Amino acid sequence: DAKTTQPNSMESNEEEPVHLPCNHSTISGTDYIHWYRQLPSQGPEYVIHGLTSNVNNRMASLAIAEDRKSSTLILHRATLRDAAVYYCILRSESGGGADGLTFGKGTHLIIQP
Amino acid sequence: DAGITQSPRYKITETGRQVTLMCHQTWSHSYMFWYRQDLGHGLRLIYYSAAADITDKGEVPDGYVVSRSKTENFPLTLESATRSQTSVYFCASSPNRGPPYNSPLHFGNGTRLTVT
């Protein structure tokens, strides 16, 4: 499976935008880029996903580089409730083998009041 | 309420005992998954199921048994618990995995299992 690389941790201030980077230089043409987050003592929560174009939803925006070798999750105005571990995951359309998602270590986002 | 629920939330058991963790979803999702989460290893897939009566091994299936007689339930059984199975267990579900394979997974809030 194609791997992703994320910073171990990032810190931001409340009410400011947050840009969480993810590198995936070996991404294939059929890999979707998914983002999940895990709040303390909870299960992972879906945030957003995309293939080639930038995507927006009520939680965040996903900016995908033109060559698709990197992407950035954007939280437009962070709140204390956004403090979580954020996972960038590639999910292949071609499938095969075990289904589901392969989680890495993610980025621990710390929000300062 | 619709959703995915896991029970119990916390469980303490002794080495060698059998323990079953329950997972129930109300969406009629075809796919269901069991993950475990440990410090230093992150989330790892134990078993998954594509539909009732269809299950398959994930990354770390040894010591675990699953069944799926009904679409909505996906219990995970530790036949003879060991200390190394102390972990937080998460169940998840997702709709049919048809193209373009982008259905999100919905996770439960986990069961924290301690094996003494």
- Beta carbons of B97 and B30 less than 8 angstroms apart: yes
Q: What is the DSSP letter of A65?
A: -
Neighbours of B45 (CB within 10 A): 22
Kindly determine whether residue A49 and residue B105, on different chains, have CB atoms separated by under 8 Å.
Answer: no
Contacts of A45 in chain B (CB under 8 A): 107
Q: List pLDDT tens digits, range B5-17.
A: 999 999 999 999 9
| Residue in A closest to B94 by C-alpha | A100
User: Among A38-47, B6-15, B35-44, B55-64, whose mean pLDDT is lowest?
Assistant: B35-44
Of A32, A43, A44, the CB nearest to B102: A32
Q: List pLDDT tens digits, range A30-73.
A: 888 999 999 999 999 999 999 999 999 999 999 999 999 999 99
Report chain B's mean pLDDT, rounded to a whole number.
92
**Portion 7-66 of A in contact with B at CB < 8 A:** 32, 34, 36, 41-46, 49, 51
CA–CA–CA angle A60, B44, A32 (5° rounding): 40
Sequence-ordered list of residues with C-beta below 8 angstroms from that of A97, at least 6 positions apart, any chain? none
Q: Would you say residue A97 has pLDDT above 50?
A: no
* Greatest pairwise CA separation for chain A in angstroms: 45
- Beta carbons of A81 and A89 less than 8 angstroms apart: no
CA gyration radius, chain B: 14
